[in-house]
Amino acid sequence: MPIVALLAGCGASARPIVTTDAAAPIAKHCSPGSTSVGSNRLAVAAVVLRRATAYRGRGRRPFARFKRLNQNGFPTVFRVLAVVRRKDCTPAWYRVQLPIKPNGAQGFVRAGAVRIGSVRTRIVVQVSRRRLTLFRGGRPVLHTTVAVGSGATPTPTGSYYVNQRLVPTDPGGPYGPGAIGISAFSTVLTGWAEGGPIAIHGTNEPWSIGRAVSNGCIRVRNPMLRRLYAATPAGTPVVILQ
């Protein structure tokens, strides 16, 4: 299904691709109440089934609503940070990271509104070193040099996650063969479409790799982008360090 994904410095016609690991229980044994989930080896993702409402806390007013598909036609995905269990240990709520502003926004969604799956990959970007590392099961499996945001349009640091995966209609264009959208937004390009979302993507300017020249996105050489794209399902944590 063709869509238009307007990313911060990454606009391109594209089609959405979603992959998820097999669904897995968060814990085999539990006690009622709130328990944090996830580690450097394993993350938990939640995919919206039909629609989901985010609350500041249990019993509080809602502040954001989400459909099954986002504005790019990609399944809406959250990163699960904690599970709140009932007395019988069944999940009642999940505390999740949301793909909205401000960067790192969190909320509570009802357990019945989402489907849970496990993710064993993690991406770490070191902006000052122009370095990206992919981890699987806590072990580094891929390193590559990247281009990052310029001084005027910096790549936002923080803890995020892969929230959409897009394939440009022109693989020879400025975004290469793919774009891995993450839940971060530019902090300076506030007037851009969709709020200036950030992505990891390929490029038709290989000379830019290793430099601080982008509008905030992270550029990767196309051959490496293909490998990275194939290995990172939606829900993959992305940590961007200075």
CATH number at residue 205: 2.40.440.10
pLDDT of residue 59: 75
pLDDT of residue 182: 97
Q: Is there a single domain that holds both residue 132 and residue 237?
A: yes
DSSP H or E segment with residue 226: helix 222-231
pLDDT of residue 202: 97
- The residues, any chain, with a CB within 8 Å of residue 98's CB and separated by 6 or more, are 54, 64, 78, 105, 106, 107, 183
Write out pLDDT tens, residues 64-114.
999 999 998 999 999 999 999 999 889 999 999 999 999 999 999 999 999
pLDDT of residue 110: 97
Q: Is there a single domain that holds both residue 108 and residue 160?
A: no
Domain end (from 57, 86, 119): 119
Q: Is there a single domain that holds both residue 219 and residue 184?
A: yes
Q: Is there a single domain that holds both residue 71 and residue 127?
A: no
Positions in the chain short of pLDDT 50: 1-26
Q: Is there a single domain that holds both residue 128 and residue 237?
A: yes
Structural domain tally of the chain? 2
Q: Is there a single domain that holds both residue 9 and residue 95?
A: no
Residues annotated as catalytic (active site), given as ranges: 201, 217
pLDDT of residue 11: 40
Domain end (from 119, 143, 159): 119
Please report, as a single letter, which amino acid is at residue 43: A
Q: Is there a single domain that holds both residue 225 and residue 171?
A: yes
pLDDT of residue 23: 40
Q: Is there a single domain that holds both residue 163 and residue 191?
A: yes
> Between the CA of residue 166 and those of 153, 171, 178, 220, what are the distances in Å?
23, 11, 6, 15
Domain end (from 68, 99, 119): 119
With b for 16 or more beta-carbon neighbours within 10 A and e for fewer, the 111-144 pattern comes to bebbebbbbebbbbbbbeebbbbbbeeeeeebeb
Q: Is there a single domain that holds both residue 234 and residue 127?
A: yes
- Written as six digits, the tokens of 227 are 């490998």
pLDDT of residue 29: 64
Q: Is there a single domain that holds both residue 192 and residue 235?
A: yes
Measured from the Cβ of residue 55, the count of other Cβ atoms closer than 10 Å reads 17
- Cα gap 164→161, rounded to integer Å: 9
Q: Is there a single domain that holds both residue 101 and residue 189?
A: no
pLDDT of residue 189: 84
- Domain carrying residue 54: 22-119
Q: Is there a single domain that holds both residue 206 and residue 131?
A: yes
CATH of residue 32's domain is 2.30.30.40
Nearest alpha carbon to residue 165 among 47, 40, 37: 47
